[in-house]
Amino acid sequence: NAGVTQTPKFRILKIGQSMTLQCTQDMNHNYMYWYRQDPGMGLKLIYYSVGAGITDKGEVPNGYNVSRSTTEDFPLRLELAAPSQTSVYFCASSYFDIQYFGAGTRLSVL
Amino acid sequence: KNEVEQSPQNLTAQEGEFITINCSYSVGISALHWLQQHPGGGIVSLFMLSSGKKKHGRLIATINIQEKHSSLHITASHPRDSAVYICAVLYSGGGADGLTFGKGTHLIIQP
């Protein structure tokens, strides 16, 4: 039982490039989340999903897109990367309000 | 959006000391979480509370719903407790749209 798995762990992007952050969970949780964590700030919700085919915006969705074609996978897409998207990204899934976090993806946009 | 305030922001203590980290929030919540983030970055859920008190090993979490305040205590602190402790709340009616997080308390326990 791997829990929540995120790939890659680290990535450096050039301004304007695109990439997909992968997130998969093997706990059959319906609820999944993407957060970003900036230095000295609390985690902020980017997007969330309550089940396959259903996604919605969180507090800071601009510059990102998500999809949820299966219960297991919840990828986060960055289009036209900008320096403001330099952050650590966490994927999480939840069951009865307990959230399980992935190990994070550290992204730098230069 | 409603804020979650934690204090202190940074705390350095000696091994064996009793540690208290505080969290306050502004409106009604359905649940409050305490999370631990280790230097490597991984985040682990420690407690979820909606009332009263919970204990796990040397960690104790309390919540006072009327005062909108929660505390995390660590007894007999140890250097391995060094981490960032994060308070997060699920606002009443917040449903699926995730938690609201405090900025964290950076705890260092010196041997």
b/e sequence A75-96, b meaning 16+ C-beta within 10 Å: bbebeebeeebbbbbbbbbbee
pLDDT in tens, A56-99: 999 899 999 999 999 999 999 999 999 999 999 999 999 877 88
Instruction: Give me B32's structure tokens.
Output: 């409050």
Residue B21 scores a pLDDT above 90: yes
Give the pLDDT score at A14. Answer: 97
B75 and B18 Cβ atoms separated by less than 8 Å: yes
Among A60-74, B23-37, B83-97, the range of highest mean pLDDT:
A60-74
Give the pLDDT score at B2. Answer: 63
Residue B78 scores a pLDDT above 60: yes
Give the pLDDT score at B96. Answer: 59
Residue B56 scores a pLDDT above 70: yes
Q: What is the mean pLDDT of chain B?
A: 91
Q: Which residues of B touch A97 (CB under 8 A)?
A: 30-31, 33, 48, 90
d(CA A105, CA A89): 5
CB A101 to CB B42 under 8 A?
yes
Phi/psi at B7 (nearest 5 deg)?
Answer: -150, 150
Nearest by CB to A56, which of B41, B97, B100?
A: B97
A85 and A107 Cβ atoms separated by less than 8 Å: yes
Q: pLDDT above 90 covers what percent of chain B?
A: 77
Burial (0-12, 13-18, 19+ Cβ within 10 Å), A16: exposed
A110 touches chain B (CB under 8 A): no
Shortest Cα–Cα distance, A5 to chain B (Å): 11
d(CA A20, CA A43): 20
